[in-house]
Structure 1
Amino acid sequence: MKKALIISLIVFQLLSCQKNDKKSAKIASNNITMEVPNCLYPQLKAGYSAEKSETDYPNYEYKISDLDCSIPLLDRELQKKSFKFLSPEDFSTKVYEIFHRKIDYGKTTKYLYIDGNNACNKEIIYNKNSDDEMVPQSYYLVKNKSFITELLSIPEIIDYQKEFPESIKYEEEQVNKNQGDVKITKWNEDKNLAQIRNNNIEKLVSRNLFLFNDKNEQLTWLLSNDESFLEMLCKVYGYDNNDKINQHFIKKIIVNNSIDQNINFFVNESCGKKLVIHKNFINSFNNTLKISKKSNDAIILKNIASRVMSSPEYEKFSREDKVMLVSYLANVFDPLFKTYHNDNTDWGTLTILADAKEFYDAEWNEITSIIVKNNYYNLPNLKMSLDYANQFDSVGAPD
């Protein structure tokens, strides 16, 4: 009898636990289900796109509530892909390494805003990256979840008709294609929506696995499918610690050596109005040039140095900053010039430092003093390059 009573109690407890587990799962599911339609229906009503007088029309203003209700769904997608959510301390460290931003967990703000065009802009706006021409490109670091995302509409994340069947009737009956003088395209009319969703989730997962879980295997996909995001990291935030990314963009620079398009791979302006040299990128470029040995591949270094020395837009920077940048570029270009300039005339007649000597003229001794005082910036080829530059005369190179 006593044994039967014990068994009955155990069975009752197990059934109670199962019931509680089901209840908890239902509540967790309901938390998402209850929250998402609050922003889903306004998004459905606004449509996938809109036009007025045959011109694209912004029919919906995104707000923090749109970002808020997307987070549980994005979180779920990351969990599906076994993303490891970092502790606040580890996430904060990673964010500072990548974006040079500090997360203040003492503030009640939910997100740290990342402006994809201006690293110094920290004022949050709620902006969709609808295409690469959208300015600014906007990203959001989710403080309590430790991941980065764009602002996405709910239909761009999940199959909303499958997850929220009640939305089908709403979209059919409550969403009008003609809203006054504005004509909308409904979300359910976009034939590419499934593909858009898949791409958005792939970006979300690949970016976060690569940046915060150190999953380098994601890089192949990112380089092929999310190049603009990686370019933003390199040019705007000076992310130059990955040689594979550096080499990817170096190949493109060699094909198109436009200074305007490429200078920020090498140097950028800090929020404190100082020049920030992307030393690892320059080192990767040096490794490429050692193999190619082509003047056309290297010429962008000389062109950047010339612009920094002579262009009015760089007058706001200190002479010390400019001399340091020119030195880093000369450390790569000038030894190659010395070795190969007699093989063909494509190398021109001056090294970077010889050009600087000619440009600064009477002030050259001051420039030299800055370089020497800084112990040649610990650059291996700079002393030799400076000595070589001092041997140039009106005829040209000494050799």
Structure 2
Amino acid sequence: MKHRILMSLLFISSALVSCQDKKAENNKNVTTITESSVGLQFNQDVNTMLKKQLEYGKPSFDNPYQYSDKDLEVATPILNQLLLDNGYKAIRNEEFSNKIKQIFNRIIDKNSTSKFLYINLIDKCDKELNFFPNNAENNGVFVVKNQNFITDLYPLPLIIDYQKTYSEAAQEENSASKNYKDANGNEVKKYLWKDMPNLKEQRKKNIQTLVARNLYLFNDNKAQYKWLTLNDSYFMEALVKTFGYTQDMDLLKWVIERTKFDKKDPSDYGKLFWVKQCDETVKIHANTFKILQEIYTPDITNDMSNENRFLLDYIKGYLEYFADFNNKETGVSKEDKVKILANIVYFAEQYKYDKRFVSGHGDNSKMMGRLRFFLDQEEVDILQKNNYFNLSKFKEWWDNADYDEYFVEECEYNGTCGPDNQPMNVIEWRKEHSKK
């Protein structure tokens, strides 16, 4: 009996250890970051570049040190080893090129001699290499060709613990002047890396970001998704809103649910639905409508805790903003403008005919009627010429919305409705206006 009890205890203990080991393994890629062994080995090229970077301190516009491709070239082996040490599996050149095209809509030119491709997160059509480290006015990532990963331009002190391996450079920094002269000869204060209070934490965050981005995008490691949305939200949101990457439905849903229509920045809401590409063409995000249909369900209108219930209000706000602009102000052709509006309104109008929703809820939005009110004759001709962009029920719903157009014009945009001036109801109005 004692033998059986002992064996049972040993079995339970072993199972607990095994479970803990598996849990630790599952969390390894997300929370545990290994600083590269290559960063702990002395390298003369790194040492030379590090001394330059330490001499001038943290980058700033007044800083006379100009970062260049040489800074990134020296850092590349360290960054590559950091990735390998943390589980990244470099993919084949063709697969990597396809991913860069799919995610960022950029083509890696096989005939180019440049080792890097720059992707500007602020202006996606600006392809000029920019080697100034990221800040509020400059933000982008480099595609490292042939080694097949992406990275920010990190100064060496932000990716290696230089004080351990490069003691000579660290000692020189200790005695370095804290001032330098700018281009105009003015003496400017500089900020030495050693004085950065959270340097160790920033280094860890940079390595985590490097690893998580590459594992997520190129190794399809979904374990990195949560960390990235919590700690790298600007980059993750830019994938959808700037580059139009909507293939990851979880990411797209996350972006949709955190994006509200804001009158102070109305164009931002439109980034959920379409993107203007660098060749001037417009791409409409079909997957956005799939996600919206999933989250806007009959039970949502009575759920006061769910902000998705305001979805039609957000769309209405964007419709009024976008439809009221001419093609020069929106930066798209009139035909593209009508196409975008047609697709958005077609999605919203379905709720007018969906009997599962609270009676009258869909009717109050009157999306198609609003569209009829805003479009001029030239834009209506574009609709008809393009067969209503092959949206199957569009013409039927368009024809049915003639009364809605009258209502929103009288009561909302002309403001003539009031206690003493009620609009005709649909039966009264129809007696005077037959369907065309």
Q: TM-score range by the shorter chain?
A: 0.7 to 0.9
What is the correspondence of 1:139-288 to structure 2 with a 5 Å cutoff?
139-173=141-175, 175-179=176-180, 181-254=187-260, 258-288=265-295
Cα deviation, residue 248, structure 1 = 1.6
SS at match of 2:137: coil
Is the deviation greater in 117-126 or in 360-369? Answer: 360-369
State the partner residue of 2:81.
76
Change (3 A) 1:325 1:32: farther
For 2:67, give the aligned amino acid: Y
Gaps (5+ residues) in structure 2? 1-37, 182-186, 302-307, 409-424, 428-436
Residue 309 of structure 1: CA displacement? 2.6
Say if 1:331 and 1:228 are closer, same or farther in 2 by CA, change over 3 A. same
**Contact 1:357-1:364 within 8 A present in 2 as well:** no
CA contact (8 A) 2:54 2:173 kept: yes
Deviation at 1:395, TM superposition (A): 4.2
2:310 equivalent among 296, 303, 324: 296
Report how far residue 81 of structure 1 moved: 0.9
How far apart, in 2, do the equivalents of 1:369 and 1:286 lie? 26
Residues 261 and 268, structure 2, Cα contact 8 Å, conserved in 1: no
CA deviation after TM superposition for structure 1 residue 238, in Å: 0.4
Q: TM-score if structure 1 supplies the norm length?
A: 0.81
Residue aligned with 2:90, SS: coil
Which position in structure 2 is the counterpart of 1:34?
44
Q: How does 1:98-177 map to 2 (within 5 A)?
A: 98-130=103-135, 134-173=136-175, 175-177=176-178
Let me know the Cα RMSD of the aligned residues.
2.9
Does 2:97 align with 1:92?
Answer: yes
1:43 alignment partner in structure 2: 53
SS of 1:185 mapped into structure 2: coil
2:329 and 2:189 mapped to 1: Cα distance? Answer: 48
Tell me which stretches of 4 or more aligned residues in structure 1 moved more than 6 Å. 28-32
Map of 1:313-324 to 2, 5 A cutoff?
A: 313-314=328-329, 317-324=332-339
Higher share of residues assigned helix: 1
Shift of residue 299, structure 1, vs aligned partner: 2.1
Q: 1:375 and 1:216, CA in 2 relative to 1: closer, same or farther beyond 3 A?
A: same
Answer yes or no: is the 8 Å Cα contact 1:177–1:183 preserved in 2: yes
Would you say the 8 A contact 2:115–2:145 is kept in 1? yes
The 3-state SS of whatever aligns with 2:66 is: coil
Q: State the 1:188 CA deviation.
A: 1.3
Q: Which amino acid aligns with 2:317?
A: N
Letter in 1 for 2:78: L
Question: Measured at CA, do residues 197 and 30 of structure 1 come closer, stay the same or move farther in structure 2, by a change above 3 Å?
Answer: closer
Instruction: Determine whether 1:357 maps to 2:369.
Output: no
1:267-305 superposed Cα distances (whole Å, 9 cap, x missing partner): 222222232222222332232223534763222223333
Amino acid at match of 2:381: E
CA shift at 1:370, angstroms? Answer: 3.5
Aligned to 2:275, what secondary structure does the other structure show?
Answer: strand
Relative to structure 1, is the Cα distance of residues 343 and 321 closer, same or farther in structure 2, using a 3 angstrom cutoff?
same
TM-score by length of 2: 0.74
Equivalent residues of 1:295, 1:347 under 8 A apart: no
Shift of 1:256: 5.4
What CA distance in whole angstroms lies between the structure 2 residues aligned with 1:398 and 1:162?
80
Distance change >3 Å, CA 395–CA 125, structure 1 → 2: closer
Distance 1:107 1:320, change over 3 A: same
Q: CA shift at 1:68, angstroms?
A: 1.0
Other structure's SS at 1:394 match = helix
Q: Deviations over 1:11-62 (max 9, x none)?
A: xxxxxxxxxxxxxxxxx99997121112101110111367xxxxx8435321
The answer on whether the counterparts of 2:120 and 2:141 sit within 8 Å (CA) in structure 1 is: yes
Length, aligned pairs only? 358
CA distance in 1, matches of 2:145, 2:287: 29
Q: Which moved more, 1:252-261 or 1:269-278?
A: 252-261
C-alpha offsets along residues 240-284 of structure 1, whole Å, 9 cap, x if unaligned?
Answer: 112221222222224857523332232222222232222222332
d(CA) in 2 for partners of 1:111, 1:97: 18
SS of alignment partner, residue 68 of structure 1? helix
Among 345, 356, 363, the alignment partner of 1:330 is 345
- Aligned pair partner of 1:386 in 386, 391, 398: 398
Cα deviation, residue 387, structure 1: 4.3
Q: In the aligned structure 2, how far is the partner of 1:164 from the partner of 1:383?
A: 72
1:349 and 1:279, CA in 2 relative to 1: closer, same or farther beyond 3 A? closer
CA distance in structure 2 between the aligned counterparts of 1:96 and 1:308, rounded to whole angstroms: 29
What runs of 5+ residues in structure 1 fail to find an aligned partner? 1-27, 51-55
Q: Which amino acid aligns with 2:366?
A: L
CA separation in 1, counterparts of 2:197 and 2:380?
Answer: 67
Structure-2 change in CA distance of 1:38 and 1:385 (3 Å): farther
Q: Which amino acid aligns with 1:126?
A: F
Q: Secondary structure at the match of 1:121?
A: coil
Distance 1:179 1:314 in 2: 45
Residue-by-residue CA offset, 1:346-398 (whole Å, 9 max, x unaligned): 974631x222222235457524414526422x6xx645533432464524695
> Structure 1 residues 300, 29: closer, same or farther in 2, change over 3 A?
closer
8 A Cα contact 2:119 2:141, kept in partner: yes
Aligned residues: percent identity?
27
In the alignment, the residues of structure 2 paired with residue 139 and residue 255 of structure 1 have an alpha-carbon distance, to the nearest angstrom, of 28
Contact 1:113 1:139 in 2 (8 A): yes
Residue 19 of structure 2 corresponds to: none
State the AA in 2 paired with 1:296.
Answer: F
Residue aligned with 2:242, SS: helix
Secondary structure of 2:119 counterpart: strand
